[in-house]
Amino acid sequence: MSERPTKPILRVLEGEPVWPLPIWIMRQAGRYLPEYRETRSQAGSFLDLCYTPRLAEEVTLQPIRRFGFDAAILFSDILVIPHALGQDVRFVENEGPKLDPISNAADLSRLADELPLSRLDPVFETLDRLSKSLPRETTLLGFCGAPWTVASYMIAGKGTPDQAPARLTAYRDPAFMDRLIDILVRASTDYLIRQIDAGAEAVQLFESFGAALPPALFDRLSLDPIRRIVTGLKEARPNARVIVFVRGGGAHLHRFAAAGVGDALALDWTLDPALVLPDLPGDVATQGNLDPLALIAGGDALHRGIDHILHAVRGRPHIFNLGHGILPETPTDHVAELIARVRGA
Ligand SMILES: Cc1c2[nH]c(c1CCC(=O)O)Cc1[nH]c(c(CCC(=O)O)c1C)Cc1[nH]c(c(CCC(=O)O)c1C)Cc1[nH]c(c(C)c1CCC(=O)O)C2
């Protein structure tokens, strides 16, 4: 008989309403924290930071020490998968990620067809260390990017408005696109299984660019690949819990729920939980969805935003979070205020 979890986030992921709501924040380790900037300056490149377990553990723990969030999220990046597959990935200061773009079958043949897991050993070591160093009540989250979001970086070689290069490729060369997505589905599944074995208790899939997909491409490039990853992970590791974040996926939320894809669905900040939740099955957990700019603004905007969510999700299994990642300009005292208000509700 498996024991019922006691950590608040894991209880919510079992479909149990927990109050006060457990809380963590997407991208909670990062440049808005002075202690992150300090550690970051000690590492060479951003990837060195991701691949040095002692430092990656340290930056993962920083927001836990300062704020006592209910979850710690592994410090890494969604682009370690293309990097491990053999694509050149660099993080250029103030410009974001840069990759050598791939555009056809020949480019793809130069990358690994299966993820060489040992290249990511430092990531698994970071998880192993964290599973020993975290406070007892804190849930350890692993993550990866969803295939479409990662593919859009691999094809364009950088972030692009509306992911036009990858979308055009999906129309012009569907065979190449499907092949790339298939590689990423298998790589992501293997990667997440290994993260669970290294100590992650739940994982989040980040589909940051769901909004760009037209209906004719959405199922093929987003819903179906995510479903395959979640199914493969759960077949291999039935206790793994999964949070699915599809930014811009509001119109498809009920279909993710109906297909049983994810123990929790994360809402972006454009969705009104008061309108969306009544149409979701009561046992599907949700997560979100304060506007990251309301957290920067603080004051009334912040308090009204928090209260609206608290009111809308009362009695449901919900994890408080932002509707997308925290931004570098966010004042840390606003984060402390947010937590106090959610915990004091
Ligand atoms: C699209 C995406 C990426 N990375 C990620 C996504 C999906 C989530 C989202 O939509 O925000 C996910 C990610 N990136 C990072 C984390 C781990 C830590 C955490 O969430 O606390 C996670 C979960 C660290 C990071 N990843 C990156 C940083 C900043 C780099 C630095 O410190 O110099 C951090 C802390 C770099 C990165 N990595 C990426 C971009 C676009 C950038 C540059 C923009 C930026 O600087 O925020 C790709």
Q: Which helix (H) or strand (E) holds 206?
A: strand 202-207
Task: Render pLDDT for 242-301 as a digit per residue (tens, 0 to 9).
Answer: 999 999 999 999 999 999 999 999 999 999 999 999 999 988 999 999 999 999 999 999
Query: Looking at the whole model, is its pTM more than 0.95?
Result: yes
Q: Give pLDDT, residue 283.
A: 87
CA-nearest residue, atom 6 of ligand 1: 78
Residues forming the active site = 27, 31, 40, 77, 153
CA dihedral 296, 313, 205, 194 (to 10 degrees): 110
Q: How far is CA 198 from CA 19, 48, 123, 179, 313, in A?
A: 30, 20, 9, 29, 33
Q: Give pLDDT, residue 2.
A: 60
> Is ipTM beyond 0.90?
yes
Q: Give pLDDT, residue 233.
A: 98
How far apart are alpha carbons 243 and 62 in whole angstroms? 23
Regions in the chain scoring below 70 on pLDDT: 1-2
- Give the three-state DSSP class for 241: strand
Q: Is 73 in the pocket of ligand 1 (CB under 6 A)?
A: yes
| Ligand 1 atom showing the smallest separation from residue 30 Cα | 35
Q: Is 75 in the pocket of ligand 1 (CB under 6 A)?
A: yes
Q: Give pLDDT, residue 1.
A: 46
- Give the three-state DSSP class for 285: strand
Q: How far is CA 128 from CA 30, 140, 199, 322, in A?
A: 21, 10, 6, 27
How far apart are alpha carbons 298 and 337 in whole angstroms? 9
Q: How far is CA 145 from CA 195, 204, 308, in A?
A: 14, 8, 29
227 annotated as ligand-binding:
no
220 annotated as ligand-binding:
no
Q: Is 28 in the pocket of ligand 1 (CB under 6 A)?
A: yes
Q: Is 91 in the pocket of ligand 1 (CB under 6 A)?
A: yes
29 annotated as ligand-binding:
yes
CA-nearest residue, atom 30 of ligand 1: 46
Residue where the block lists tokens 């819990």 = 241
